[in-house]
A and B are shown apart, each in its own frame.
Chain A
Amino acid sequence: MSQGQLWEVFVRSRRGLSHTHVGSLHAPDAEMALRNARDLYTRRQEGVSIWVVPSTAVTASSPDEKDPFFAPAGDKPYRHPTFYEVPEGVRNL
């Protein structure tokens, strides 16, 4: 049996949080990818919602472009939200 195509798996761990990339898996189609993701990534109650996306649909930044992409942010501390107090009780900003 062929392995099927590769899928990226995103799991939302709790209501109110975003889906987070947890890994990838093989499956013949999207429906089976969802089920495999359920078995592989949520068997210890890690999630309340799953997304699967074909890996081929992901456009990734290239390691060669690392500097133009990310270096310019290095000396711009004013972009960090450190100039005001985070209200108490806000855990996920």
Chain B
Amino acid sequence: MTTARPETPAADAGPAEHLHAALALGDDALVLAQRLGEWTGNAPTLEEDVALTNIGLDLLGQARHLLGLVGDEDELAFHRDEREFRNLQLVEQPNGDFAHTIARQLYFSCAQSLVHRELAASDSPLAGLAGKTVHEVAYHRDHAVQWTLRLGDGTEESRTRMQRALDALWRYTGELFDPVPGLPVDLPALRAPWLRDVTEVVERATLRLPSGPDRAAWAAGGGRDGVHTEAFGRLLAEMQHLPRSHPGARW
């Protein structure tokens, strides 16, 4: 691959420090949007198809704004290799069954809504964007909450699957609260309110909060350092193959 390496802003680059945070949050939004896009045409019902696609498009809008601050959005999305992406490992996890998608949405959007609320109130250059996204993120969170309640308190089958999904993704939740340089939000301090929110939903859904470790032993560094899980390579291959095999291609 002979593409130019996009500039990754240094963590301590002074005035441009917020660009490091923009890249991290932008990659989260981009990768989760790509995952949700995989449901288009495949969701359990037509209505849910539109709902998941809407959420994905909201996230894509966030990604475009954030990556646009860092550099050329297309260059960043399509011409970076795996190790250069700064997204959380949580958002790259495969869709799995519908319950896995909902569990991923629940963990992520509960955290994202706390982060964006604090970011909107900060004096960061990213505060303006966060002010606009607070409402859409609140809706993403509500969507995940409603489905968690219905799957958990639904049939024996849906309950088993929802619990399995919560358990399987739990190990990726620790990373949500690792500090991000340039982000004026005390992420470690948000873990307690996040845990309170998630616990409340999970208990109302008659499920139990997973008890295992919230990060895998091998996760060293994690997604924010460009260390990604096996499924991420395939996601990137699908997302990037067209612009890479036909450079400059347009619709």
Interface residues of A (CB under 8 A from B): 1, 3-4, 25-29, 31-32, 35-36, 39-40, 43
Contacts of B32-60 to chain A: CB distance below 8 A: 44-48, 50-51, 54
| Min CB–CB distance A18 → chain B (angstroms) | 25
Residues A36 and B51 in contact, CB atoms below 8 Å apart: yes
Q: B143 an interface residue at 8 Å Cβ cutoff?
A: yes
| Chain B residues, Cβ within 8 Å of A35 | 51, 142-143, 146
| Chain B residues, Cβ within 8 Å of A3 | 45
Secondary structure at the A interface, as helix, strand, loop or mixed, is: mixed
Interface residues of B (CB under 8 A from A): 44-48, 50-51, 54, 98, 142-143, 146, 150
| Chain B residues, Cβ within 8 Å of A31 | 146
Residues B46 and A26 in contact, CB atoms below 8 Å apart: yes
| Bound CA span A1–B150, Å | 12
Secondary structure at the B interface, as helix, strand, loop or mixed, is: helix
| Bound CA span A39–B54, Å | 7
Closest 8 CB pairs of A and B: A36-B47, A1-B44, A39-B51, A39-B50, A39-B54, A25-B47, A40-B50, A3-B45
| Min CB–CB distance B9 → chain A (angstroms) | 35
| Chain A residues, Cβ within 8 Å of B46 | 26
21 A-B pairs in the complex with CB atoms less than 8 angstroms apart = A1-B44, A1-B98, A4-B45, A25-B47, A26-B45, A26-B46, A27-B47, A28-B150, A31-B146, A32-B146, A32-B150, A35-B51, A35-B146, A36-B47, A36-B48, A39-B50, A39-B51, A39-B54, A40-B47, A40-B50, A43-B54
